[in-house]
Every structure is written in structure tokens, then in C-alpha cells.
Structure 1
Amino acid sequence: MLLIAIAFCGCSGKNESKIEAKPKSLETLDVDVLAIELSPWPRTVRSQGSVYADEQSVVGAKVAGRVAEVHGDVGDVLKLGDPLVTLDQEDFLLQVEQAEAQLLQARSSVGLLEGDPVDKLDPANAPPVRQERALWEETQSSLERISSLRSQNAMSQGEYDVAAAAERVAEARYASAVNGVREKIALIQVRQVELAVARERLKDAIIRAPMDGFVLNRLVAPGTFVAVGQPVATIVRTNPLRFRGKIPERHSQSIAVGQRLTLNIESVTEPREATITRVSPALDQQSRALTFEALIENENQVLRAGLFAEAEVVTDPDAYALVVPESAISEFAGATKAWIVVDGVTREQEVRIGGRREGAFEVVQGLSPGDLILRNAEQGRVGKVNSQNVPQASVQSSAPIAAK
């Protein structure tokens, strides 16, 4: 038995020696290999927000009255000055007629004919003033005759005093007539303003659109009595639109007016390009975020206010990064990996991905400039790469370089 055991051990030792002497050879892989280098990769900041109308106006009534007709309803297109709501105009027409009659009465009291400008009226030429001036001149002549007779002792002192008093009364009545005409001229101007106000109220009985836009909603119907200032409709202008978004505090210093951004809207196939037009001067104290706005052209009215959008703002257009094609990265069970070639042999390398754009990934950790990786990660497995497929010098990555 001992001899058998010794013989068995001897045989086992020979077999193990033979296995160690013949290591397993690696498979030769005929795969595409690329050398990664720094490529243009503009730095961007992502922000979520909503699309708002450029202007939204709640149109109110300037005068009180009963609604006679509603011209605009939800969705109707309006131009600046188009009728929106018409109030009952009968009372306003009567007010205009009353003001016209009062003005005519005031003009007639000073002898102004229709069409004569009031500013050219000389109070001294008004009929009441001419009448008082004639009486004053008559008393002056009488006073002169009595004064002559008084010097000849043909008239008593009492008669002279009566004539002098009559002359002074006539002079005062003349001055009063001049002041009365000036007062009537001022009254004419008051009546002119009253007429203008009455005509303006008549004009305001037709409530018009304050801008080009659409009717967002209407708030009255025929027969409704509206008070001064009461809203009757809401008008919105949707060309251009405003995107309003927020970015975290850590990116607040990288946002400025004039920067370009790309808007991705879920219900719109193609992304929209826009420019930042406004940046808030302060951060929101609760959310610690900075608000900014960008104008979006909407001439064809494809976009609607209220849409949710995601913005990608280019903060550094001249930045560089390690960029690899999407096909070079594999993701499984939460791990992101690439197949790297070291000394002609492939092995898995865990990497961390930054930005993602059309057809490419930004690698922020795990790879370095000059590393060789497999272009197609699905072909990756441990093996020896065909030397003919290994580039002899670093080549530029084929990843896109423009932000989308």
C-alpha cells in the first residue's frame, strides 16, 4: 500500500508540473482601438423652468356702463386698437350733446360765431363792453360840458358833483364789463374741456386691445354692468416668449447677459436657440438660486406660454475635456466602464461620466489623455489586441465638439 501511495504522489507531481509549464494563451482580438485626447467641449449649466408670455395685460374699463357687445373671446387674435368690449353709448352721447350746447351758450354770450377762435377775442370789442364804453364816454362828455358851465358860474356845485359821480359809475361799469367778458372767455375754455372729457368718455365706451396678442380669457358678457377699473378680459402677447429659469448658487457667477443657450421642450421636436436677456441682481434667499430670462422667437406661434423647458447654458465655449463616443462606454448594474488597452492587453476600467451630448460622453475620472480604449465596448473582453489595430500616435477623438 505504501508503494502504491508513493507511486500515486509521483504521478500527481508530474501532472502539476506539466500544467504550470503550459500557461493559458490570451485570445487575439480584432477590434477598433482609439487614443483619447482633450477635445473642445464647451462648459454648460443646465436649468429647468417655464415659458411665459412676453406681456400679459388685464384690460379694465375706464368708464362705468353696461356691456352692449363683446368682440373678443378666448383664443381670438387682436391687433393694437381692435375693439374688445363695447358699452352702451346712449348716456355718453347725451353727455356730449349737453357739453356742446353749454359751449355754444358760452360763446354766444360774448358774440363768438361758430368757428371763431376764442384766443383771438379782444375783451374790449365784446358787445357788452362796447355798450358800457359808450355810456362811459357819454358821461365824460356831460362832465366836460358841466365843468365848462361851472367855470362860468352857470352851473351849481351840486349839479357838477352829480355829473362827476355818474362818470365814475360809468367807468366802473366799463371795467366790470371787461372783467365779465374775461370771465366768460375762461368759462368758454371750461366748456371746451368739458366737451373734450365727454367725447373721451364716449370714446372710452369702446374698450380696445392695448397691444397685439391673443385673448387669454374674457370676464364679462352682454348685459353685465362694469364699474370703473373692473377687468373685462386678459390679453397676452406670445411673440417673443420669455423663458425663466433658475440655476444653483454655485453656478451663479458664470451666468451673464448675452450668453447663448439651448432650450429643450418636451412637446417640440427641435431644440430652440435663445440668448439670455436678463439676470436677477440677487439670489432667492429661500432656494439659494439665481433667476434669469431669455427671449424666444415665436413668430409662427408654434410655442405656447406655460410650457416646461430645460435650458443648457454655454458658460465657457473654449473649454476642453476628455470626450469618448457613446459606444465606448458600457453601463451595467450602476457601474460605468470602458475597455482600456494596456501593453496590448484589454481590461475593464471603471470611469465617471460628466456631461452627455449627442453621440458622446465627457469622462471626468478613470481615463487620461493618450489612453487607448476600445471604440465599441460591446466587443470588450480580456484578450490581446491585434497590433495592426493599435494606433501608433495619438489621434483626435471623433466625438462632436459643439454643444447641442
Structure 2
Amino acid sequence: MQESLGGITRITGPQFPAENTRHSDNRLYNELMNVILCRPPGSCLLSLLCVLCLMGCESNQPAPTKKNGETLPVLNVETLTVAEQTWPRIVRSQGSLFPDEEATLGIKVEGRVSEVHVDLGDVVEVGDPLITIDQEDFKLRVKQAEAQLAAVRSAVGLKPGDPLEKLVPENSPPAREKKAEWDEATANLERAKTLYKQNVMGQAEFDQVVSFEQVAQARYASALNGVREKMANITVQQTQLDLAREDLKNTELKATYPAVVQKRLVAPGSYIRMGDPLLVLVRIDQLRYRGTVPERLSTQLEIGQPIELKIESVPQRTSKVTRISPFLDQLSRSLLFESLVENPDRELRAGLFAEGRIIVDPDQKAIVVPISSVVQFAGTEKVWKAVDGTVKMQEVLLGERRGDQIRILEGLQPGDVILRTAKEGRPGTLSAAEPQPSAAEQTKAKT
């Protein structure tokens, strides 16, 4: 564009209005260009070179609050200082609840079932009757054994109620009878000896008296043996009576521990034999949690370690590891362990699925941040990290999440400053603020 002024031709260049640029230095650039273009053509080249040098020097020193030619915004957001905190090391497992005891009950005698006292789901205590067998035949056997015992006791002179230990074989009636006969024969022998010496008794008659004495002695010894045999028979008959009474007692099946009936396998009128399965009882006032851990974590498991059990629709339960299998399952390559779970109100039922969290190292330290500090961007997890007052995104590797806290495995170090709420993050600079507490201190303050 050319303009005429007093015979002098003025060449004007394009204008660069300040409102069309984001930098205030463009105004100076426009004014210089206007002055240069107004000068004679000989001096324009030199002036243009000077302007370009000045502009080049200016571009090598960008302001710290600019990025790609744009001014970074000032962020007034809440930050926190990254620090290590206690993060107990936990091994997770899955398993089920099993009854503490499970027994299939039978009976020690055979007969016809007269009554079944329980059914599915009934709660029984120690001594409660479960099943009763017809007792008539067993009562008759008891009476028979009692009569046989009384007969052998009376044969040796024992009165009802007298203990067997009180009986002395020599004092029994049969023995005393034979002892008297022997004493009489002995006395006759002494008199016969006197008469034989006086030649009043012949040899044949004397020999007969001697024979009578020997026979009487043998009969007394036999009587003693007979008494001892009857005493042994008393013991046998007493045992038979005890067995008959035991069989009568066994016609009623009773609970031996607190339990719940899981199955009833017999009905009244059924004839059962010794050992036939009749009922299945389970003890659930105390349950066993049986879980497994992978082979790589099996060496960290120890008896006595605390375990937290998460069971659907019931409050969390706590227990301890009580038993550990001595070998790993060869198919699943996992280790089985048990934990006792108290269940006095029988709220839990055997067979429930449970998830266990075993605390293997309660003092482990880790870098932990609020879950609100993490944002997923372009398929990766990142946080907004402040470096020298400038906020930028930092990629991180996440670990386990617990509640509103999450562990950082890689990407952050103690002392780093990050935004507490990632949704408020964007490239910019932090406003002047007081030093922020660490995540651990903020978590502690909340609790």
C-alpha cells in the first residue's frame, strides 16, 4: 500500500492489531514495522535485521507461567503430601463353612422302631432322646438274667444285696457240710488207730476207716472247688445281667453333644439292625472355615494369624488360623487351612461361601492415597502431581484398594505433592497455600 505526502511516497505494511494476538509484545512489533516502512528503502533492511534480532532474543526466554505460548491458569485446589503409612499385608482366600462335627448315628441293638423323637432341623442337646426301639423283649431278658443270678448266689449262701467279695469258700454251706463229714471221718480214724493198736480192731476194718477219712477229705476239697466255680458263675451271671440292662438302655438313642438334625433316615415301625444309619447330626455352634491360598503364598501362612471372614448378608466375622494342611493339593497347587468360627446363636449355616482376609504382616508400610486422587486417562491410571508449583499428570501403578484408599506401587515417592481430587486437576500452577498434610495424617484425622 502506498501513500503520497508532500511529494514523498510512503509505503505502509500490514497492520497487526494487538487485539488479534495473545502477547503484548506484538504491539511493539507492529509499531516498529510501521516506522521502518516509513523510512527510505536504503535503511529499511538494516532496521528490519535489528528488529528480528530483538524478537529472537525475546523468544529464547519464555515466562515460567506460559506453556506453548499460552498462560497457565492458577489452580486453587486441595493438595496432599504423599507419605508411607501402615498397610497390613493381606492374603486373600475363598472357601466354605463346615460343621465342627458331623456324625451318622446308628444303634447298638436291633429291633423295631417304636418312636422317632426328632426331625429335620431340630436342635438337640446332650441327653435328648432321638429314637426308641421296642423295649418289651429287652425287659424280659433283664428279668431272666436277674433270676439266673439270684439262683447262683443263693446256691453259695449269698443273700440279696450281699457283695460277692464277702463270700469265703470255706464258709459256704456246701463246704461246711463236707468239712463236717471230713472232721467226723478224721475222728473215727483216730479212734480206730487206738483200737487197732490194742488189737481190738482187725486190719480189714481199720483199712475201711482209713478209706472213709480219705473220701471225706476229697469230698471237702471238691466242695470248695464247687463253691469257687459257683462264685465264678456268679460273676458270669452278673455280667449277663449288666449286658441285658445295657441292651435295654441302648434301645433309646440319645444325643451325645449339642447338634442339629441334618437328616432323618428311619420312620416308626421300621425294623433296623445293629449299625444301620438312622440320623445325621451336625454341630454348628462352632463352624470350621476351610479355605485355600495359592502355592506362592503358602509359605506366609502360620497358625494363629488373624483372619477376617466376609459372608454374604451377615456381619463380618473374625477368627484365627487354627490348622494348616501339611501338603499342597497336587491338582490346584493350593494349600488348605482351617479356622474355627464361633456360632453360638446358630446364625451361620454350614455350607455358606466365605471370603477370608488373612493378615500376614500387620506392620507393613506402603504409599497410600485417596481413591479420589486417581483418574483413568488413555487406558492408564494417573494422578495430578505438582512439581515446582506446576501441576502435570503422573502415571502410576495401582495396588490393592481398601475402602476409599488405594496403594501406589509405582510412580510416586514419599514427599510428592498431588491433588486430592483428580477431577479438579488440569495443567496449571498452584496458588500460594500452606503446607498440606500427608495422606496418612489426613486419614488419621478423619478416623
Tell me the TM-score normalized by structure 1.
0.91
Q: Does 1:325 align with 2:370?
A: yes
Identify which of structures 1 and 2 has the higher relative contact order when contacts are C-alpha pairs closer than 8 Å and 6+ apart. Answer: 1
Kindly report which structure 2 residues correspond to 1:207-286, keeping only aligned pairs within 5 A, or say none: 207-268=253-314, 270-286=315-331
The equivalent residue for 1:301 is 346
Is 1:36–1:324's contact at 8 Å kept on the other side of the alignment? yes
Q: CA deviation at 1:393?
A: 6.5
Change (3 A) 1:333 1:194: farther
Q: CA separation in 2, counterparts of 1:141 and 1:290?
A: 91
The equivalent residue for 2:355 is 310
Q: CA deviation at 1:283?
A: 2.1
Q: CA deviation at 1:104?
A: 0.7
Is 1:323–1:399's contact at 8 Å kept on the other side of the alignment? no
DSSP-derived class of the 1:324 partner:
strand
Deviation sequence 1:155-214 (CA, Å, 0-9, x none): 111111111111111100110000000000000011111101110111111001120111
Q: 241, 244, 249: which is aligned to 1:203?
A: 249
The equivalent residue for 2:211 is 165
Change (3 A) 1:384 1:46: same
Greater CA drift, 122-131 or 21-30: 21-30
* Aligned-pair Cα RMSD in Å: 2.2
Deviation sequence 1:107-141 (CA, Å, 0-9, x none): 11111111111111011111111111111112112
DSSP-derived class of the 1:313 partner:
strand
Q: Does 1:113 align with 2:159?
A: yes
The equivalent residue for 2:237 is 191
Q: CA separation in 1, counterparts of 2:164 and 2:337?
A: 57
Change (3 A) 1:192 1:45: same
Is 2:79–2:436's contact at 8 Å kept on the other side of the alignment? no
Q: CA separation in 1, counterparts of 2:242 and 2:376?
A: 78
Q: Does 1:392 align with 2:435?
A: yes
Q: Does 1:353 align with 2:412?
A: no
Deviation sequence 1:88-123 (CA, Å, 0-9, x none): 111111111111011011111111111111111011
The equivalent residue for 1:381 is 426
Q: CA separation in 2, counterparts of 1:39 and 1:304?
A: 38
Q: CA deviation at 1:224?
A: 1.4
The equivalent residue for 1:6 is none
DSSP-derived class of the 1:253 partner:
helix
Q: 99, 102, 106: which is aligned to 2:145?
A: 99
Calculate percent identity across the aligned residue pairs. Answer: 48
Is 1:80–1:209's contact at 8 Å kept on the other side of the alignment? yes
The equivalent residue for 1:5 is none
The equivalent residue for 1:78 is 124
Unaligned runs of 5+ in 2: 1-12, 27-68
DSSP-derived class of the 1:231 partner:
coil
Tell me the TM-score normalized by structure 2.
0.82
Q: CA deviation at 1:258?
A: 1.3
Unaligned runs of 5+ in 1: 1-9
Is 1:49–1:308's contact at 8 Å kept on the other side of the alignment? yes
- One-letter amino acid of the counterpart of residue 183, structure 2: E
Is 1:264–1:271's contact at 8 Å kept on the other side of the alignment? yes
- One-letter amino acid of the counterpart of residue 174, structure 1: Y
Q: CA separation in 2, counterparts of 1:35 and 1:41?
A: 17
Change (3 A) 1:156 1:72: same
Deviation sequence 1:34-89 (CA, Å, 0-9, x none): 11110111111111111111111211111111111111111111111110111111
Q: Does 1:43 align with 2:89?
A: yes
Is 1:49–1:246's contact at 8 Å kept on the other side of the alignment? yes
Q: CA separation in 1, counterparts of 2:379 and 2:229?
A: 93
Q: Does 1:176 align with 2:222?
A: yes
Is 1:241–1:296's contact at 8 Å kept on the other side of the alignment? yes
The equivalent residue for 1:287 is 332
The equivalent residue for 1:65 is 111
Deviation sequence 1:278-310 (CA, Å, 0-9, x none): 122222222222211111121222111111111
Change (3 A) 1:119 1:332: farther
Q: CA deviation at 1:333?
A: 7.0
